[in-house]
Amino acid sequence: MIVYSTEGIRIILQAITYPAAEIGLMIEDADLERGSVRGSDVKEPSVKGYERQTLRPSDWRIDDNLSAATHSKVTFDFAGPPGVIYGYFVLKTTGEVLFSERFQRPFDFSEFGGRIGIIPTLRLRNKEA
């Protein structure tokens, strides 16, 4: 089993979050865990007002116990109903998906527009599962 030092974990979190350039929403219950996935492969809302949001490297924070990197809140607005939001995905500038998160319960915007706020978070474990 590999055990990372404190500095090792900090460097890993920074290396993963630094190239993160955009965040988008998923309107399909997709499995992004398999293989190489590009942002163009993910089904996103096509409603007026929706667009991917930029993630700035300076807005990522690594928590004190080095278990997670968290970005400041990102807000998406919809002028019409985008459908069911299953989660979000984070992309590099080259378009590859770095990581994604499925919500425990999807958010249903099938009948109205609105706003949803996301706090992108990447968690690492330094223990055996």
Give per-residue pLDDT as tens, 16-28: 888 778 999 999 8
- The whole-chain average pLDDT of the chain stands at 84
In a domain, 111, yes or no: yes
In a domain, 15, yes or no: no
The reported pTM is 0.83
Q: Are 75 and 86 spatial neighbours (Cβ–Cβ below 8 Å)?
A: no
In a domain, 65, yes or no: no
Render pLDDT for 55-66 as a digit per residue (tens, 0 to 9): 988 899 988 877
In a domain, 108, yes or no: yes
Cα 111 from Cα 104, distance rounded (Å): 21
In a domain, 1, yes or no: no
pLDDT the model gives residue 74: 96
In a domain, 8, yes or no: no
pLDDT the model gives residue 128: 44
Structure tokens given for 87: 């989660």
At 17, give phi and psi (nearest 5°). -85, -25
pLDDT the model gives residue 129: 41
Which residues constitute the domain of residue 94? Answer: 20-54+70-120
Residue 65: partners with Cβ closer than 8 Å, 6 or more residues away: none
In a domain, 63, yes or no: no
Task: Give the count of domains, the chain.
Answer: 1
